[in-house]
Structure 1
Amino acid sequence: MFKHLKAVSGDPLLALIVAHKQDLNPKKIDLGVGVYKNDHGDTPILNSVKKAEAILLEQEESKSYLGIYGAAEFETVIQNLVFGEGNPLITSGRIRSTQTPGGTGALKVAADFISANLKNARLWVSDPTWGNHESIFNSAGVEVKSYPYYNPETNGLRFEEMMATLRAEAKEGDVLLVHACCHNPTGIDLQPEHWNIITDFINERGLLPLVDAAYQGFGDGLDADLAGLRHMAANVKSMLVANSFSKNFGIYRERCGGLSILAETKEEANAAFSIIGQAIRANYSMPPAHGAAVVYTIMSSPELKAEWEVEVAGMRNRINGLRDKLVTKLAASGVSKDFSFIKNQRGMFSYSGLTLEQVHTLRNDYSIYIADSGRMSISGVSDNNIDYLCESIAKVVG
């Protein structure tokens, strides 16, 4: 029955993780894995999460199913965090939100919804984008197109080319995916003026925006990071938002995310939400409970919420501080390349500007593991390894 099948190549980033684990060099550095790490190289459980779990252990009374959309009270948590408390879009009923198994689950449901209900819609993604975007939407039968984004010559944004491509090729009814903040994999974010231009274009062309908000709080702040998203939401008729709680709550393995749909009226939102429910039922039936219960417990307690906000700020400040240190130490190492652009990037990732040959040399000769694209996970840098990292880059780059 399966003799005709041929093995496919695995995810290259997962292979990178395995290679790092098997490396016996005591100086080895993992800059590939996409999870937050502290200065000891660990992915810690937040204190606010530990306290919430203790409360749940004491108070939880059932492990029964939640239902297709997850816990009903979690809808408000998603909306307040993503769109901002008191946002009139929430009180108007134009937004409906469902819990999902991580941000990936939210994107998968969005893909199924688009495929089944927005016939001939194509999805536009940045070049480059998160490695799983194309696979998720292709698996749902949605054609994926790309628009220019990263400029390897300047290590910056190709915004004019991005808009030129979209104006020339995007068709009415297409879906435009943009990253809310902390662009994965480049770390290069859209600025307020860019969000204004994109929003106007969406309205002019009749596109549906899909915003991927995976790293809220890791750029400039919980509210600042989603300012562009909130501007867009206030000025378009329809919108999809996929968000993740994995990073800002540190609950990666609990698989907790959300999918929100904004419609022109409350009635349209409810109708679309019922169809999203069908997509969920046919996909994973209903989401897991624990992660959402942890998030809800934190967000419904003023004390825990305040502690969580401090912890998010701590992670954000560490990452941004590492960017500054990295640029300073690389310059001091005598490296010929100007790496100052790393300071202006945001979030856990950086397109380092290293070539494929340089990446392979760092991996093979110095046990420094970076994705072939040159994408580095900044949180893998620490006070213990930053000198070795910068010295090694200087030797390789020259």
Structure 2
Amino acid sequence: MIESLAPKAPDPLLKIIKMYREDPRTDKIDLGVGVYKDGEGNTPVMRAVKDAEALLLAGQKTKTYVGQQGDVDFLKLVGQLAFGAMSREFVSIQAVGGTGALRLGCDLLREAGAKRVLLPAPCWPNHPSIVRAARLEPIDAPFFNITEQRIDMDALIASFAQAERGDGVILQACCHNPLGADFSLEQWTQLAAALNARGIIAFVDLAYQGFGDGIDEDVAGARRLLEQVPEAIIAISEAKSFGIYRERVGALFVKAAEKSRAAVMSNLAAIARANYSMPPDHGAAIVREVLSDEKLRASWREELDQIRSHIKRTRRQLAAARVNSMPMHLIADQKGMFSTLPLDGAQVTRLREQHGIYMTDSARINVAGLREADIPRFVEALKAVA
């Protein structure tokens, strides 16, 4: 039986990572992996994280399970950070990273009777895989014109006609991956009205809080939507905001009527029990320590501000470049780590083979991974292929 398994195609991003590692050129540029890098090309551990880990090492007395729901203080603090006062009315459970939270949410949708999930396209490449793994049907919903680098709200809302009541739609809260294109407050209001009219469940994916315009600014739109819809699911990752990628720190929150919350929690607990049983502790404990300590929280905010400033500075420098007819100036208006350039597969291949510049096959670049010293060479390479 096992020997009859057919090999699966490699993940597109993992393929690029492997090619980059095997490239012997010393001036190669990695714009594929989605992690923040400083001016030296490193992904450092935040000072507040190291200090929190020292506190945990000195004070932690046990390694027993944290319980089915996870670290409840972590959930309370993360909920307040993302949603403010309204978080008190949400059901919550700790998850194995943002990806695990997305899977929990999709499984919950299926248990509630959903059959499909709309994915504003282009979407994060792992979204369709997660939806399919939960035995739901992913439906592409046109969302963004890459050539013109603009959101197409009319096309997105028109695509809601493909869903039935109780189906879901995944909406990225901020710093869109792979586009960097975020909804305005007015557009979030439009989305809430359209979802309510069709009975579609908003599934908000929040992975980059603080990387766009600020901690509160980055969730202002999602908060507006959550205030206006009766039900919603929200998956949160703290990997980027705290620089703890490998610790797999995530959470799932659900907005539901008070009479339904106990049933929601019992379903989430059952799904988690059959999946990973109990959540990991270390990463969530780090976030809890940072957010609950005034000095650590201030240190974290300061370093997050520096990271955001670095990303914005890189975006401004790219936007100032002139690359034939490419609308580079719009990169400055986009948010967070990623943008997708209007390049075809042949151009992406030429950048990789002739210039040692690695990005995904869809031409998504990790702006946060581009060193300032490499910007001139990157721009010249774009001019050579565009």
Calculate the TM-score normalised by the size of structure 2. 0.97
**In structure 2, distance between residues paired with 1:112 and 1:17:** 30
Which aligned pairs between 1:196-211 and structure 2 lie closer than 5 A? 196-211=189-204
Give the gaps of 5 or more residues in structure 2. Answer: none
**In structure 2, distance between residues paired with 1:37 and 1:15:** 20
In structure 1, the residue matched to 2:225 is: 232
Quote the offset at 1:271 in angstroms.
Answer: 2.1
Say which of 76, 99, 105 aligns to 2:100. Answer: 105
In structure 2, the residue matched to 1:29 is: 29
Say if 2:208 is the partner of 1:219. no
Quote the offset at 1:11 in angstroms.
Answer: 0.6
**In structure 2, distance between residues paired with 1:317 and 1:309:** 12
Root-mean-square deviation (Å): 1.2
**In structure 2, distance between residues paired with 1:336 and 1:180:** 30
**In structure 2, distance between residues paired with 1:21 and 1:391:** 23
* 1:342/1:352 contact within 8 Å kept: no
**In structure 1, distance between residues paired with 2:120 and 2:327:** 25
Which aligned pairs between 1:274-353 and structure 2 lie closer than 5 A? 274-328=266-320, 330-331=321-322, 335-353=324-342
Give the gaps of 5 or more residues in structure 1. Answer: none
Query: Which residue identity does 1:55 align to in structure 2?
Result: L
**In structure 1, distance between residues paired with 2:172 and 2:32:** 20
Quote the offset at 1:335 in angstroms.
Answer: 3.6
In structure 2, the residue matched to 1:90 is: 87
1:172-208 Cα distance to aligned partner (Å, 9 max, x none): 1111110001111111111111100110111111111
Query: Which residue identity does 2:108 align to in structure 1?
Result: F
SS at match of 1:243: strand
Calculate the TM-score normalised by the size of structure 1. 0.94
* 2:326/2:342 contact within 8 Å kept: no
Quote the offset at 1:396 in angstroms.
Answer: 1.7
**In structure 2, distance between residues paired with 1:274 and 1:208:** 19
1:249-301 Cα distance to aligned partner (Å, 9 max, x none): 00000000110011122x32222112111111011001110001000000000
**In structure 2, distance between residues paired with 1:244 and 1:222:** 14
Number of residue equivalences: 386
Residues 56/120 of structure 1: CA separation in 2 closer, same or farther (3 Å cut): closer
In structure 2, the residue matched to 1:9 is: 9
**In structure 2, distance between residues paired with 1:53 and 1:162:** 44
SS at match of 1:129: coil
SS at match of 2:72: coil
**In structure 1, distance between residues paired with 2:186 and 2:58:** 49
**In structure 2, distance between residues paired with 1:338 and 1:233:** 33
Which aligned pairs between 1:152-301 and structure 2 lie closer than 5 A? 152-166=146-160, 168-265=161-258, 267-301=259-293
In structure 2, the residue matched to 1:360 is: 349
**In structure 2, distance between residues paired with 1:357 and 1:106:** 36
SS at match of 2:262: helix
Query: Which residue identity does 2:286 align to in structure 1?
Result: V
Say if 2:374 is the partner of 1:385. yes
* 2:109/2:167 contact within 8 Å kept: no
Say if 2:383 is the partner of 1:394. yes
- The percentage of aligned residue pairs carrying the same residue is 38
SS at match of 1:221: coil
Which aligned pairs between 1:56-95 and structure 2 lie closer than 5 A? 56-84=56-84, 87=85, 89-91=86-88, 94-95=89-90
* 1:336/1:394 contact within 8 Å kept: no
Residues 228/336 of structure 1: CA separation in 2 closer, same or farther (3 Å cut): closer
Quote the offset at 1:336 in angstroms.
Answer: 4.3
**In structure 2, distance between residues paired with 1:344 and 1:355:** 23
In structure 2, the residue matched to 1:147 is: 141
**In structure 1, distance between residues paired with 2:129 and 2:151:** 24
Say if 2:130 is the partner of 1:128. no
SS at match of 2:26: coil
Quote the offset at 1:69 in angstroms.
Answer: 1.2
* 1:129/1:185 contact within 8 Å kept: yes
Query: Which residue identity does 1:325 align to in structure 2?
Result: Q
**In structure 1, distance between residues paired with 2:104 and 2:326:** 43
**In structure 1, distance between residues paired with 2:94 and 2:251:** 4
Quote the offset at 1:120 in angstroms.
Answer: 4.1
* 2:108/2:267 contact within 8 Å kept: yes
Quote the offset at 1:4 in angstroms.
Answer: 2.2
Query: Which residue identity does 1:81 align to in structure 2?
Result: L
1:125-177 Cα distance to aligned partner (Å, 9 max, x none): 111111111111111111111211111231111111111221x3222111111
Quote the offset at 1:60 in angstroms.
Answer: 0.6
1:35-86 Cα distance to aligned partner (Å, 9 max, x none): 11111111110000000001111001111111111122222112101102xx
1:363-396 Cα distance to aligned partner (Å, 9 max, x none): 0000000111110000121122111111111122
* 2:249/2:284 contact within 8 Å kept: yes
Say if 2:373 is the partner of 1:373. no
**In structure 1, distance between residues paired with 2:114 and 2:278:** 28
